[in-house]
Amino acid sequence: MNRPLKVALLGCGTVGSSVLRALQEQADDLGARVGRAVEVAGVAVRRPDHHPDVPAELLTTDAHGLVTRDDVDLVVEVIGGIEPARSLMLAAFEAGKSVVSANKALLAEDGVALHAAAAKAGVDLYYEAAVAGAIPILRPLRESLVGDQLSRIVGIVNGTTNYILSRMAETGAGFGEALAEATELGYAEADPTADVDGFDAAAKAAILASLAFHTPVSAADVHREGISTVTATDVARAAEIGCTVKLLAICERVDGNGDGDSVSVRVHPAMIPTSHPLASVGGAFNAVFVEAEAAGQLMFYGQGAGGEPTASAVLGDLVAVGRNRLAGAAGQGPSGYADLAVRPMAETPTRYHVSLDVADKPGVLAAVAQEFAQHGVSISTVRQTGRGDAATLVIVTHSAPDAALSATIAALREMPAVRGVTSVLRVEGLQ
Amino acid sequence: MNRPLKVALLGCGTVGSSVLRALQEQADDLGARVGRAVEVAGVAVRRPDHHPDVPAELLTTDAHGLVTRDDVDLVVEVIGGIEPARSLMLAAFEAGKSVVSANKALLAEDGVALHAAAAKAGVDLYYEAAVAGAIPILRPLRESLVGDQLSRIVGIVNGTTNYILSRMAETGAGFGEALAEATELGYAEADPTADVDGFDAAAKAAILASLAFHTPVSAADVHREGISTVTATDVARAAEIGCTVKLLAICERVDGNGDGDSVSVRVHPAMIPTSHPLASVGGAFNAVFVEAEAAGQLMFYGQGAGGEPTASAVLGDLVAVGRNRLAGAAGQGPSGYADLAVRPMAETPTRYHVSLDVADKPGVLAAVAQEFAQHGVSISTVRQTGRGDAATLVIVTHSAPDAALSATIAALREMPAVRGVTSVLRVEGLQ
């Protein structure tokens, strides 16, 4: 007799209840795909009385007891946050259980140690749902593209900020107004810090970079800037040069010119050309753009959040982990063999867009251009628009170390001929 | 001492030579990712003198001898076509070797038997490169989305026809002219039949449907129409209703209303709205659009052909198969447990666009509408444009069985008031 695979579910919020429903309603299909019936062993929650839809005999407040129960094979962790998720995961590994998680914060903070614990126990740790919801991206990076050399990943991986920036572009609203609308419509949480300040995207960037470059990268390694400083002017200036503003998670291999390559991992708003495949990713959708040496350009697009889409990713991992369990083998964890250095933001090559209000008199452009040159920054394009005794200069630079670019901006602010620096934003994806 | 994994390469054309180069130039990275050095055991070709770049000691004309050699672990089959690829693959399985293939024609014709042979031998058969080149799509379907219920896949999976249709839209050229240009530029082969008549796309559709619906589907099950009948008028009419013409590979689960679901698998040109994510997939690019119950809409985009992109997919599979080999376990083959019926095209619900030249006199629209109604076809929109004593009627239907739609068209051609049926094309993706 083949006894069923038993699943312990930790957490029963939006994602957890979608997973639970699927485990119940699609039990036959899931069983056929795993090769063995799959049953729910229990559901650990903090307040059982808040879950009237869950059969009472499944509910428990003793999460630790549940994950270490002898009859449990697999643990699905959808609590989120660092603790108690980490302790429960480690307890599960120690008890020989495989874990499927949607916990980007925990994986980004402590992925190396967690993978080591899983490997030591000979069990699986899968977490496709942690990045870009339903979009299959971690497995393609870890498996499909593992024979290729990745050069860069650029992702729109946070739906809240993408919704806000999309609305700013559509309506001309400022950040505050667009955030208020997003909050009212439920696209932003009451405390939007994790999204708006880029913490959520930074955790996802760390996970993507780790897999793409076979290098341990944690959230603390990620340079992070949010979108609260993006102004209506920035968005308007972007449109004028054929661009749109997006919050990007960028993971890039930087050529060390013989001194050893490094990786740059960063999250910041940037202008991208409207012709770029990522530019048309609107509203709460997510997309991940990948460049690889042999494969060329790839893009993965879909819903990045929500109970059902995230549950789809969790269940895909659950079937994979279940199959591995039956085969008596753990799947391959990520490999950190390359162990590249993470490049500081100051030394990372970027490009800037700068808009300046200047006095419209001879020699101003020359003086401004000289300031860029003194910092070793070469200019790609300049557009000058006169209006009365003032003029607007819109400058897009070539690539230069980020520190040289920010020093240039600081120096421009001090120039007498420059009345104001009205917009500064990095530019990505321009030819 | 861990002896290296040895790879037998069958075929050394565009894809094979890219694979060989990567195996040589990226040996360190590939070895680190597999967990064991990977070496080329030999390269089987028909004419060794045509391959001056390949070390002579690797070349052999004895493909069968090579795949069954004791020291060979993995076989990469990039010969294409049915024979001798099939016999060599079966010989490899029998000798206990795992196989990575890019052979869509063979997998679409004989996938079930080949998978059975691999399973019997306890070895792997992977073929990500067979569909949409470098785009990871088979592994996402087989693994990432295995916990979800797929409802449909719509793919642009043939670059040659997409190039031709893109050029027709851009220049107003007819099919013949655009094909001639594609041939001259090397986007179409001297004998373009496999691409233009939809055979290539049909093989890919069969593979996609098999994985998506856990149902064996072979190329012979696929309804297939090519693009040689698409006219400049069709393309112009599409633009007038906000659409563009694409050759689509469509795999769809059709609700049986309690009588058991079935699958429709078909390749034909169709109008899709320019707002659809697939509409902007231009030139020789490929994209696969997926709809799943929980995940919602997903899209996978990238290069669908070419030596390097296809080699990327082959090498990803090679690393996965190599890891499985070291773990002493075969990966999961596809599952055919659902075994849904393949629905005949005549019974498949589709929508049509029809343009008619009619006499501009009272009652013609009523008579035409009556003809649709008699066949049980309901009309979604009609646009009538008068010009002198003639008028043009552009009609888009609601969904109806394909046979009812084609019978309606045949009847319209016989109506005295209809001077000509100037364009008929199916419509996909309209709301």
pLDDT tens for each residue of A95-138: 999 999 999 999 999 999 999 999 999 999 999 999 999 999 99
Contact of A152 with A255, CB cutoff 8 Å: no
Contact of A321 with A34, CB cutoff 8 Å: no
Note down pLDDT in tens along chain B; length 431 residues. Answer: 589 999 999 999 999 999 999 999 999 999 999 999 999 999 999 999 999 999 999 999 999 999 999 999 999 999 999 999 999 999 999 999 999 999 999 999 999 999 999 999 999 999 999 999 999 999 999 999 999 999 999 999 999 999 999 999 999 999 999 999 999 998 888 899 999 999 999 999 999 999 999 999 999 999 999 999 999 999 999 999 999 999 999 999 998 888 889 999 999 999 999 989 899 898 879 999 999 999 999 999 999 888 999 999 999 999 999 999 988 877 777 778 889 999 999 999 999 999 999 988 888 899 999 999 999 999 999 998 877 778 899 999 999 999 999 999 999 999 999 999 999 999 999 87
Tell me how close the Cα of B24 comes to any Cα of chain A, in angstroms.
Answer: 12
How many residues are there in chain A? 431
A323 touches chain B (CB under 8 A): yes
In order of A138, A187, A219, B323, B375, the CA distances from A191 in angstroms are: 28, 12, 20, 44, 58
Q: Across the interface, do A315 and B294 touch by the CB < 8 Å criterion?
A: yes
Kindly provide the ipTM of the predicted complex, given to two decimals. 0.91
Phi/psi for A224 (5° steps) reads: -130, 125
Q: Which of A22, A145, A303 sits opposite B316 (nearest CB)?
A: A145
Tokens read off for B101: 């293939």
Tell me how close the Cα of A11 comes to any Cα of chain B, in angstroms.
Answer: 19
Rounded Cα gap, residues A170 and A160, in angstroms? 15
A338 touches chain B (CB under 8 A): yes
Computed over every residue of chain B, the mean pLDDT equals 94
Tell me how close the Cα of A147 comes to any Cα of chain B, in angstroms.
Answer: 4
Contact of A321 with A124, CB cutoff 8 Å: yes
Q: What angle do CA A155, A159, A160 make, to 5 degrees?
A: 130
Rounded Cα gap, residues B200 and B191, in angstroms? 13
Tell me how close the Cα of A180 comes to any Cα of chain B, in angstroms.
Answer: 27
Rounded Cα gap, residues B431 and B428, in angstroms? 9
For residue B55, is the peptide bond before it cis, meaning its omega torsion is within 30 degrees of 0? no
In chain A, which residue's Cα lies nearest the Cα of B295? A309
Contact of B270 with B245, CB cutoff 8 Å: yes
Burial label, A32 (beta-carbon count in 10 A; 0-12, 13-18, 19+): middle
Rounded Cα gap, residues B320 and B314, in angstroms? 10
Please write the tens of the pLDDT for every residue from A334-355.
778 889 999 999 999 999 999 9
Q: Across the interface, do B312 and A332 touch by the CB < 8 Å criterion?
A: no
- Active-site amino acid positions of B: 204
In B35-158, alpha helices (H): 63-67, 85-94, 104-121, 138-139
In chain A, which residue's Cα lies nearest the Cα of B304? A295
User: Residue written as tokens 């290069």?
Assistant: B303
Burial label, B406 (beta-carbon count in 10 A; 0-12, 13-18, 19+): middle
Task: With CA atoms as reference, report the closest residue to B194 among B224, B168, B218, B223.
Answer: B224
Predicted pLDDT of residue B313: 96
Alpha-carbon Rg for chain B, nearest whole angstrom, is 24
In order of A127, A265, A401, B113, B129, the CA distances from A344 in angstroms are: 28, 9, 10, 54, 37
Residue B170 CB partners (closer than 8 Å, separation 6+): none
Interface of A with B in 203-262 (CB under 8 A): 214
| Among A9, A146, A214, the residue to mutate for chain B (most B Cβ within 10 A) | A146
What is the pTM assigned to this prediction?
A: 0.93
Instruction: Spell out the domains of chain B, with CATH numbers in brackets.
Output: 5-133+307-327 (3.40.50.720), 138-303 (3.30.360.10), 347-427 (3.30.70.260)
Contact of A392 with A385, CB cutoff 8 Å: yes
A25 touches chain B (CB under 8 A): no
Q: Which of B140, B149, B328 sits opposite A136 (nearest CB)?
A: B140
pLDDT higher than threshold 90 for residue A154: yes
What number of CA atoms fall less than 13 Å from residue A331's CA on the CB side?
24
Q: Among residues of chain B, what percentage have pLDDT more than 70? A: 100
Number of neighbours of residue B225 by Cβ within 10 angstroms: 18
B283 touches chain A (CB under 8 A): no
Interface of A with B in 119-138 (CB under 8 A): 128, 134-136
Number of neighbours of residue A116 by Cβ within 10 angstroms: 15
Please write the tens of the pLDDT for every residue from B118-176.
999 999 999 999 999 999 999 999 999 999 999 999 999 999 999 999 999 999 999 99
